[in-house]
A and B are shown apart, each in its own frame.
Chain A
Amino acid sequence: MDDATLLEAIGQRRDTSAFEELCRRYATKLRRYVAGRGVGDAESIVQEVMLVVWRRADRFDPGRASVATWLYTIARNRATDALRKRGRPVPDPRDPAFVVTQARTPDPAPDAATARHQQIAAIRYAMTHLPAEQRALLNRVYIDGQTIAEAARAMNVPLGTAKSRLRLALASVRTQLSVSHG
């Protein structure tokens, strides 16, 4: 059963075996991520994340993100809260200033971008084929929770070099995904 089907079973039928399966798939990886961010009690945080998933499964929108991305953002929000004691500011769709469509930038249509978001395996594949120094930079930022400046210092390269590597890495993952998904 795929992740989205499991989440649907939890959200609509309160299916405890679907919840168990989702825990088996993701709890260990989530714990590794939360611990890597430097949060003290990573196991408690993962318990909370999974209970949030249990309670809020009905709010998951498969049109907006994959299940893995949804889990990642919940764990990120919880880890960030634990580290900072303050939430980070976010755009609010209820805001009268909120702009839904934009004329200026002829970027890919949102639905094409969304289709790419579903392809966690394809993204992972593209990332594993990046040059080692680009991959190392992304690992430091995503997994170790470093800023670009901190990663640059740790890798002993100028900040400008780190930013260039980041641009190249993201561009090459995007290119690879647009090639493989047309």
Chain B
Amino acid sequence: MAEYHLPDAILLEYATGVADPGHALIAACHLTLCPRCRARVAELEAFGAALVLGDDEGAPADPSPDAFADRLLAEVFDTSSAAQLDAASEALGSDLDLVEPALALEPPEQRPREGVFPWPLQRVIGPFEDIPWRTPLPGLQTFDFQLPGATTITRMTRARAGMKVARHDHRGLELDLILAGGLHDRTRGGEFERGDIQSASEGVTHSLEILPGEPCLILSVNEGNFVPDGLVSRLLYRYLGWS
């Protein structure tokens, strides 16, 4: 059955701050469009808080549980007045990014179709109108971009209705976020629209088709190249540079 959402593993790595930058980008974009996965991330953060900061009921007391806190309060923080703590915290400079990271960033430049790309994507590749598309085939536009520190392959694709994505497997996980139009998995079923995630693990061989209507706009984050299935697929993906 089609899932439409990010797998637990990706959401967890995002929630703990260890996700590959490509995975973090597609997560932030999907979370912009998906309240359900935002609630999931909030839940995973609460699980982290319970593991990291919770107490075990009935556990033997730590012999010196407050040694560090006592030292902090005795030697570092001057809690004799609120003004002293205010001065120390102001010396830190900007800190909003730690509390509400989104609000610490300026909104991107306003454009007529600004709603197409979620801001986390727009902050990386600019607005939709300015994408320097490549057109390797009639009706197919692609734009590959690199994120610092990422081992994933990040790509924008825009394909016209009716186009087919020939059968392929993958090296590692394939994640597609649909940003416009629609995509149909011809092998496993499922129709994906704006905000939906189409995912396929290594070992899943499938083909896809763009649904009727406007061109399908996709953010893809793949852990490895396509593995073609059959001669047509091999020639096509070699030509596109996807295999």
Give chain A's interface residues, CB within 8 Å of chain B.
14, 16-17, 19-20, 23-24, 26-33, 43, 46-52, 54-56, 59, 64-66, 68-69, 71-81, 84, 86-102, 104-105, 107-108, 110, 113-114, 116-117, 120-121, 123-125, 127-128, 138-139, 141-143, 145-148, 160, 163, 166-167, 170, 173-174
Contact = CB atoms under 8 A, between A and B. Distances in A.
B46 A116 contact: yes
B46 A117 contact: yes
Nearest to B85: A54
A145 B195 contact: no
B54 A65 contact: no
16 contacts: A16-B79, A20-B79, A26-B53, A48-B95, A52-B99, A55-B95, A64-B42, A72-B53, A87-B97, A89-B120, A91-B120, A92-B119, A95-B107, A120-B50, A120-B54, A163-B9
A69 B45 contact: yes
Interface of A is mostly: helix
B227 to A, nearest CB: 17
Nearest to B95: A52
A70 to B, nearest CB: 8
A123 to B, nearest CB: 4
Contacts of B47: 123, 127, 138, 142, 170, 173
Interface residues of B, number: 88
A72 B49 contact: yes
Interface string B45-74: 111111111111100001001111110110
Contacts of A50: 72, 77
Interface of B: 4-5, 7-9, 12-14, 16-21, 24-25, 27-29, 31-36, 38-39, 42-57, 62, 65-70, 72-73, 76-77, 79-82, 85-86, 88-90, 92, 95-103, 105, 107, 114-120, 123-124, 148-149, 195, 201
Contact of A141 (B12, B85, B98): B12
A68 B36 contact: no
A140 to B, nearest CB: 10
A23 B217 CA distance: 49
B4 A74 contact: no
Nearest to A109: B39
